[in-house]
A = this chain, B = another copy of it.
Amino acid sequence: MIHEAINLLRQGRIIFIHDSEDRENEVDAVIRADAVNTATITWLRKYAGGLICFVTDEAIGRQLGLGFMSELLRNAGFNGLVKRPGYGDDPAFSIYVNHVNTKTGIRDNDKALTISRLADVVKVAVGGEVSRARDLFYREFYAPGHVPILLGRVGRRFGHTELSLILAKMANIPPALVITEVLSDDGSAASVDYVREVASRMGSVVVAGHDIINHARELSII
């Protein structure tokens, strides 16, 4: 299952990650960001239903000058509002951005543009050209926008953000992904069984967080 997930992810297909019953107990749809087009966003909006987020790792975020929204809010005096969610983890949210060539940012083609250009910026940073990546980011994006950037703390947190980054590492693809919670028709979190059916119809798989973590430990990735 884990090998199939890694292969599908590498190929640019949507796969699914279930974090764990002790955490959010949610399944997220996951795809590499450089494979995203307008049709992907439409699918995620209609058939996943959650928030369409761009994921990269914290180190890349810091290179671009980004930190966590919780830090930003604390520094702005909102200490009283920065609490841990019920499931216990510090949120991965950084800021929300749009590409400058979007019309309003909310439309599916706008989000596809924002996400594929973010993937380009991450690739430049990963390639070692940090100051060029930073320039690109500040020139080509504006905030506040409609695509949240999530920063993963791999090895220290085990949310969908980090699990997707670990899979990306095992797939040997850039740390630039899109994740979206899968909701059921009535807007509750979709059950693992339900998503397993959806995945099977698409020729895809649902992989469990603990399988990703165990495999990554075997490979000494985390």
A196 to chain B, nearest CB (A): 20
Neighbour of A103 across the interface among B84, B87, B143, CB < 8 A: B87
Instruction: Judge whether A78 and B95 touch: CB under 8 Å.
Output: yes
A65 to chain B, nearest CB (A): 8
Instruction: Judge whether B72 and A187 touch: CB under 8 Å.
Output: no
Give the interface size class of chain A.
Answer: 35 or more
Q: Is A142 an interface residue (CB 8 A)?
A: yes
Q: Is A200 an interface residue (CB 8 A)?
A: no
Neighbour of A143 across the interface among B81, B86, B102, B105, CB < 8 A: B81
Tally of this chain's copies: 2
Chain B residues near A49 (CB-CB < 8 A): 45-46
Instruction: Judge whether A104 and B26 touch: CB under 8 Å.
Output: yes
Instruction: Judge whether A107 and B189 touch: CB under 8 Å.
Output: yes
Chain B residues near A76 (CB-CB < 8 A): 72, 75-76
Q: Is A161 an interface residue (CB 8 A)?
A: no
Given contacts A41-B187, A78-B143, A81-B142, contact A102 B73 (CB under 8 A): no
User: CA of A81 to CA of B81 in the docked complex: distance in angstroms?
Assistant: 24
Q: Is A5 an interface residue (CB 8 A)?
A: no
User: CA of A109 to CA of B105 in the docked complex: distance in angstroms?
Assistant: 26
- The residue in A72, A83, A144 that gathers the most chain B C-beta atoms within 10 A of its C-beta is A144
User: CA of A106 to CA of B27 in the docked complex: distance in angstroms?
Assistant: 12
- The residue in A24, A107, A183 that gathers the most chain B C-beta atoms within 10 A of its C-beta is A107
Chain B residues near A181 (CB-CB < 8 A): 104, 106
Instruction: Judge whether B142 and A85 touch: CB under 8 Å.
Output: yes
